[in-house]
Amino acid sequence: MSDKVELDQLVSDYHKLKTEIHKVIVGQEEVVDQVLISIFSRGHCLLVGVPGLAKTLLVNTISDCLGLSFNRVQFTPDLMPSDIIGSEILDENKTFKFLKGPLFSNIILADEINRTPPKTQAALLEAMQEKSVTAAGTTYSLPKPFFVLATQNPIEQEGTYPLPEAQLDRFMFNIWVDYPKFEEELAIVKATTADTKVQLNQMLNADSIIKYQELIRRIPVADNVLEYAVRLVGKTRINDDSAPKLTKDFITWGAGPRASQNLIIGAKCHAALHGKYSPDIEDVKAVAKPILRHRLVRNYRAEAEGYTMDKIIEELL
């Protein structure tokens, strides 16, 4: 099958998938789009939003529609690395046997990831980067495809362990989940307070997701689009010659090369899902905010003057 035919098939499957997801999830168009882009791009997502905005339900619904195995891990201060990776036990024959933890699944929902100590966060980091885990000196491969969708509550910071920059950088997208609009909330309340059960259909499977992930990597990118993405990331670094006054005034730390890589992969996927055979600068702009907002560090002046991360990125674009 030619790439062109496969791309057309991807667009068709993507629209069917979204229709299925919206049987359960009301609104949140942008959030659903961004999560699906990260899945088809082999990326991980950080979902940031106050409690009760259906972040867990969204992840659960997507895993059902994709026909993937799903595990939810509630991160707590007493969670140990072995609680998520698994541990060796002595079986009845007095031999050690590795008992796999919840990480051995296609989709992992890491709920309130900033509530667990750095040691456990680091265990998850290896899994995200290497797609494998190490226990008692043995390395075990994780199932393919593998995604971590982590949630974080932006308001309650007591008793939390903020994610280090190196770990934040491993997430392709930082997705803001906002309050629903009035009509959407009305529809949510109507649907959830009646005794109705929605039956979801499986639209894809692991093999077709892997096939689409490989297809997206093969999409060609014009040099001017590559240059735009790299220049945009360069503008976020205060010691870069191209950095505007805005960067020097409000940013203490800019994005690394992983941001440029993700901008191009994200743009390829955004273009493919919208029926284009190659991304343009508009596709880079479409994915820039969720890719850059957790990779830049604002200074005190930006906070004092009310410069949000999204406002800074908009001006850089």
Q: What's the average model confidence in pLDDT over 66-83?
A: 85
Nearest to 31 by CA among 147, 180, 238: 180
In a shared domain, residues 192 and 260: no
- Can you give the residue range of the structural domain that contains 251? 219-316
CATH code, domain carrying 266: 1.10.8.80
Percent of the chain clearing pLDDT 90 (strictly above) = 3
Whole-prediction pTM: 0.85
Arithmetic mean of pLDDT over the chain: 82
Domain boundary among 174, 207, 240: 207
CATH code, domain carrying 30: 3.40.50.300
| Rounded (5°) CA angle 246-251-257 | 105
- Retrieve residue 265's tokens: 């992969």
In a shared domain, residues 122 and 225: no
The confidence score (pLDDT) of residue 102 equals 85
In a shared domain, residues 129 and 195: yes
Residue 195 has pLDDT above 70, yes or no: yes
User: Is 240:254 a contact under the CB 8 Å cutoff?
Assistant: yes
pLDDT digits (tens, 9 = 90+) for 109-127: 888 888 888 888 888 887 8
In a shared domain, residues 232 and 252: yes
Domains: count for the chain: 2
In a shared domain, residues 172 and 199: yes
214 part of a folded domain: no
Spatial neighbors of 235 by CB under 8 A, at least 6 apart, are 242, 243, 244, 247, 316
In a shared domain, residues 189 and 223: no
Phi and psi torsions of 297, nearest 5°: -115, 120
Nearest to 212 by CA among 22, 17, 32: 17
Classify residue 133 by burial, with Cβ atoms within 10 Å: 0-12, 13-18, 19+.
buried
213 part of a folded domain: no
| Rounded (5°) CA angle 256-257-258 | 90
pLDDT digits (tens, 9 = 90+) for 149-194: 888 877 665 656 777 777 788 888 888 888 878 887 787 787 777 7
The confidence score (pLDDT) of residue 157 equals 59
